[in-house]
Amino acid sequence: MVIDDLAYELAANLQPPETESLRYVLRNAAFALGPQPPIEWIIDRLFSAGSVSLAVGAPGSKKTYSMLSAAVCVASGKPWLGEFTTRQKKVLIVDEESGERRLSRRLGEVLRGEFANDETPIEFVSLAQFNLRDPNEAILLRALIESTEAKFIVIDALADIMPGADENAVKDVQPVFLRLRKIAEETGAAIVVIHHANKMGDYRGSTAISGAVDLLLMIESKSGSPNIDLETKKARDIEPFKFAAQIHFSDEQAWLTASEVIQGGPRYSKSQEYVNRVLKERGPMALPDIMAFADICSGEAARAAVYSLAKMDVIYRTNPGAVGQGIAAIYAIKNGND
């Protein structure tokens, strides 16, 4: 894919300085003891401005959908998973793996699932063939980021931006991450690189990879399961923690919600927990009433939860044949789920 002329023009002005002394600024104790700006979180407790992070998962772990969901929430300025606050920023996706058709389909699903529109500030390039083993390619990537003014960058995937490199060799891996680090620092962007897990469920490649990133986010999900387990296995600015999500698909829409494990039972999102609770407490209810009584989630989240629970066969519609203006769908807990 051809990068626009503005990116090339910017790249021409980003050549490394000829004078060695311009490569750094010498600071002292007084500078360190002076007022320092707080961490600017793009997604609270996860991705911050000027950071480089790695999102790792096996095939089928929903790692790409997870990061697309995060990206759309940042572009929309809405909480990711309904729990992690975001600072609204322009978003850039650098896709070197899926291709334009597949990425467009997936991104469209997530945009619709998060109720985003065509003015959402998110852009992407596919198969631009950035090779960060080449310092000139890093300059071009930085130029693209600056031309879009993006502050949240998702790159898919690590292996594709270092073609021919040995992931287990420090000499091959380290220069790539040093260039990503410099780009993040100079642009103030949060860069998230998607990477593949090894057969043991850990990240693939050299230990230098873990040492080079601010956050290592492990993503796990069984094939065919909507449940996603996430863990901040390595983090510089926070204490590591675990959290969980659930992915939903409906009518060319995809969205993620926060969830938790219920001992001896299925995992539900907060909105699904609400629907289960209100139907158990009040009995069969019309969909508008389920939405109106929502207390721990929005009415729209409750509506989506109703549809997802019906697909999971946890609840059912008691009047499936009823059609016509003014006749609302009525839902109830299915026998055996109470």
Six token digits for residue 205: 């490649």
Copy the structure tokens of residue 337.
């789920």
User: Comparing C-alpha atoms, which of 265, 49, 180 is closest to residue 195?
Assistant: 180
pLDDT value at residue 19: 46
Q: How far apart, in whole angstroms, are the C-alpha atoms of residue 111 and residue 132?
A: 29
| pLDDT value of residue 263 | 42
SS (H, E, C) 143-163: HHHHHHCCCEEEEECHHHHCC
* Domain spans of the chain, in order of start: 5-26+37-258, 268-333
Residue 80: partners with Cβ closer than 8 Å, 6 or more residues away: 43, 69, 70, 73, 74, 86, 256
Cross-sheet strand order for the sheet of 330-333: 285-286, 330-333, 315-317
**pLDDT at 262 (0 to 100):** 44
Q: What is the pLDDT along the chain (338 residues), one digit of tens a residue?
A: 455 565 566 666 665 545 445 678 899 999 999 998 899 999 999 999 999 999 999 999 999 999 999 999 999 999 999 889 999 999 999 999 999 999 999 999 999 999 999 999 999 999 999 999 999 999 999 999 999 999 999 999 999 999 999 999 999 999 999 999 999 999 999 999 999 998 888 899 999 999 999 999 999 998 888 899 999 988 998 888 989 999 999 889 999 998 874 444 456 777 888 998 999 999 999 999 999 998 888 888 888 888 878 877 789 999 876 655 668 889 999 875 54
Q: What does CATH list as the number for 5-26+37-258?
A: 3.40.50.300
Class of domain 268-333: mainly alpha
